[in-house]
Every structure is written in structure tokens, then in C-alpha cells.
A and B are shown apart, each in its own frame.
Chain A
């Protein structure tokens, strides 16, 4: 009888206690770094954070998505410590401090069963602008091309538009997914799909397409032959504070860059 009467208030107290951990934090001296922005950069920052926190147990690194633009905005508004961006800053964002952590290629991908592994820039442009609509026109079977793009506002999409579309508009009929991961999923499951993702995401589930006879890889990016490349940036409002600096130093260190290279990104060391 006693328990029944007090069960609910007890539950409430427990619940609120679990949510007031902020006071706990102060007593245990945890350093919290909040990082938000590009969903392209996010998985890699997560990985770096995981490794970093192994040796720095008093750090809590909170990584969120939201997109390059949102991350930059959040940095300008000081709601996060570090913003992630997969595109260059615009004029009205240039007051932020930028740190290039690595470079990333944008890779056009198709389904592993798709025999077409080579396209030239013009063809890719025509596919995504809706001028070429059937795989038959490229030498494969008679089947409509299922083109997948990212949504407006995505850093990856604007990089794709700048480096490949070069002014030609992406057709209204292309499918849209709101993250690189989901674009990859669509291409991995639909044999007639074609899309573009960050190079770091390419794995056995999809087939990368060589552009103008250059296949995308860390090597070809470093040598300059594969030109569809964009920088991954960390942006901060003013100078980094000490704790954020520790993390960024780690990211730029040999160990951090190694992790990025293993993920398929182009770091600063070889």
C-alpha cells in the first residue's frame, strides 16, 4: 500500500535526478565540446571523437548534424564550440576562423551490378540535368536512369553543382535524399540508380565511377588528377579555447590524420 502511494512521486524524483546531471558534471570536471554542422563531416568527427575520448576520459564531445549552413550559423551564434562545413565559407560567413582538417572527394556511384564504370564530365552533367534519361543511351539496358541527389542547402550538393554541374541545373525529376548515407543506400539497392556521395563513404556496397578516365582515390586526389574535391572545415568563432584546441590538435596530428585516411579521406600526411 505504501509503495503504491509513493511509486509515482518516487518515479518523478528519479527522473528529474537523472536529468540534473549538470551539477554532477561540474563536480567531476568534464570538458564538453559541442560540434555541429555538415552531415558529410559528422561521421568522421564522431570517429575521431571516439578515439580521442579513449585517452582523454574527462572529455565529452557532442557531435551533431544539421548541415554545413546550420553548423556555420550555430558557430556564428556561439551555440556550438566548433562548426563543421563541407563547403567554403560564403562572404557573409568569412568572419569565422577556418581550419582545414582534410580533403574529401565527391564520387559518383552506381550499383555494383552496373557495368558502366566510366563516364565523362559532360555525360554526368547530362544525366543529372535530365538530358540523358535511359541507360540504353550509355550502352547498357533499356531502363530509366534513377538519379539521386542531395537536397537544396546541402554542402555536398553545392560542391557537386560547383564542380560538376557547372551552372547546369539538376533536373526536377531526380530523387532526393537528405544525407550521404541514404543516397548510398538507394544506389546500393537499386540497380538502375546513380548518385554522388562523399568519397569516405564509398565501400563494397556501391561502385565508384571514373570521371574522364580518372578513378577516385586518395592517390589521384593528392596527385591532382581527380579534381572533384572539397575541403572539410572546422570553423570557430574567434580563437579556439583550450579544450577545443586539444581536440583540433589531435585531429590535425598524425594519429588523427591516420584515422581519417583509413576512412577514405585525404589527409595531410601520406
Chain B
């Protein structure tokens, strides 16, 4: 350090302070959104009561009803539906990508996945309305704007998430596991089924949970396809409204308590997603040391 001049020290100090400012500004911005949503949404919880909002069945904010229970249920239903479609398919693709595909196929499949992930949700929603909704209406019944249509589209949308995270989990399984298994005469599939998948289990589960997080937060495609009815769907052909849809549909028109109700919806959404994220990351950290 003897060769550092005063000028350099000054520069270093300057840079450090610039970086501190940047860091503090970023953190300020990030806290801002957290705090704001909480600040706007909490009062209603206190005014109307947590139970009436989270377990209330009636959403009619202009008349004083802020029940979002049907929407919480619908959000979960649509998310599970998306997992039913996206998880098996996504996991299979991840396995194929890591265990069966050669370098050439990998070079082709990976960008393809990224492109799939890059397609905007409004485009998915549009294609869903034009092609999936009529299909469901004509062959299965109902209006087509339904739980099953939404789950189908969401399932496709979460594929890239599930595939890439599961892929990472599977490829981190040490080569030695595979070699040992092969040495014992196992077929490829037996190796995958009995050795690789179990040791990649937590990463794969994390991918599912993150996929859930993505599905439950999806807005545009959902409001175009789900029908946005306020009742809990009694069949997969019934329309439904998710928490995200509720906010998007009424945001521009809401004032006063109505608007606060949307913030309360936002808080519930935020809590659910943060819980899912925490679960996923906590799940990943528990890497089994087999």
C-alpha cells in the first residue's frame, strides 16, 4: 500500500461513497414498495377485520363487502392445475435435457426454452382466448373461460421455470453417482429413477414451488381467459377470478375503501408468494448429503 498516492485514496473514498449511495437508493426503492403496500392495505384489515376479508365470501367493495376467500381458493386451484400440467412435462424435459440430449440438441433446446420464457403473457393470453377457449367450449362445455383453460395456459407458461431449475438440480448430482449406478448394472432409467431423482429431489421440488409462485402471480393471461367470476368454481369448466385478476380488473376504477381493498388483496398475494419463495429457497438449501 506504500505506492498508493493521495489521489488514489481520494478516488477510492469517492467511489465507496457513490456505491453506498447507489446501494442505499436501491434499498430505499425496494423498501418503498414493501412499505407502501403494507401501509395502504393494513388499515382495511384493521377496519373491517382480518377474518371478514380473508374468509369473507362476498366481494362487493362499493357496498362494503371485502371478502376475498373465493379468489384465494381460485388462485390456488388455478396454480395447482398449472402444476398438474407443467410439473410432469417440465420434469420430463429437464431429465431429457440433462441425461439424454447431446451437445447439439442442448444448444438448440436451451435457447428455445429461453424464447418460450420470453414470450409476453399477453400473447399467451391472446392465443389462449383464440384457440383454447373455443376448444374447451365446443368439446367440453361451458363458456370456455374456465379453470381448465387457465390451467392449461399457465402450465405452459411455467414450463421454462420448472425445466431450468430442475435441470440445474439434476446436473448438480455428481457424476460418480451415475457411474456407480451403471457399474452395478442399472439401466439408464433405473439410475435416473432410483439415484438421480432422489438426490435432486429438493431442487426439483423447489422448481415446482417457484413455478407455483409464477403461476399465482400471473395476471394478464389470466384475466383474458379465466372469466373473472366471483364464485368459487364448482367444476373445471366454471369461470373464476384470481387475486391478481381482482386487482387488475378494478384498479383503474377504484376509489376510497374500494382501492384500499385492492391493497389488502395485494398484501395477501405478497404474503403467499413470499411464503412460497421462502419454502423454495429453504428447500434448496437442504441439499441431502447422501
Contact = CB atoms under 8 A, between A and B. Distances in A.
A–B proximity contact (CB within 8 A):
yes
Interface in A68-97: 68-70, 73
Interface stretch (A55-63, A174-182, A259-267): A174-182
A173 B252 CA distance: 22
Interface in A137-193: 144, 146, 151-154, 169, 172-178, 186, 189-190, 192-193
Contact of A146 (B62, B143, B241): B143
Contact of A152 (B60, B133, B239): B60
B142 interface: yes
A222 to B, nearest CB: 30
B267 interface: no
A192 B138 CA distance: 11
A177 B222 CA distance: 12
B86 interface: no
B85 interface: no
Interface in B68-110: 70
Interface in B232-284: 238-239, 241, 248-250, 252-255, 258
Interface in B169-205: none
Interface residues of B, number: 31
A177 B58 CA distance: 18
A67 interface: yes
A251 B228 CA distance: 36
A152 B252 contact: no
B241 A69 contact: no
Given A144-B142, A190-B137, A193-B143, A151 B249 contact: yes
A66 interface: yes
A189 B134 CA distance: 8
B144 to A, nearest CB: 7
B230 A65 contact: no
A220 B58 CA distance: 38
B229 A175 contact: yes
Given A173-B229, A178-B248, 20 more contacts: A65-B252, A66-B253, A68-B253, A146-B143, A151-B249, A151-B253, A153-B254, A154-B253, A169-B60, A172-B230, A175-B145, A175-B227, A175-B239, A176-B230, A176-B241, A186-B145, A189-B133, A189-B134, A190-B145, A193-B143
The 7 closest A-B pairs by CB, nearest first: A153-B253, A67-B253, A146-B143, A176-B228, A172-B230, A175-B227, A172-B231
Interface of A: 65-70, 73, 144, 146, 151-154, 169, 172-178, 186, 189-190, 192-193
20 contacts: A66-B253, A69-B253, A69-B254, A69-B255, A70-B255, A144-B141, A151-B228, A152-B59, A153-B250, A154-B253, A173-B230, A175-B143, A175-B229, A176-B227, A176-B249, A186-B143, A189-B134, A190-B137, A192-B143, A193-B143
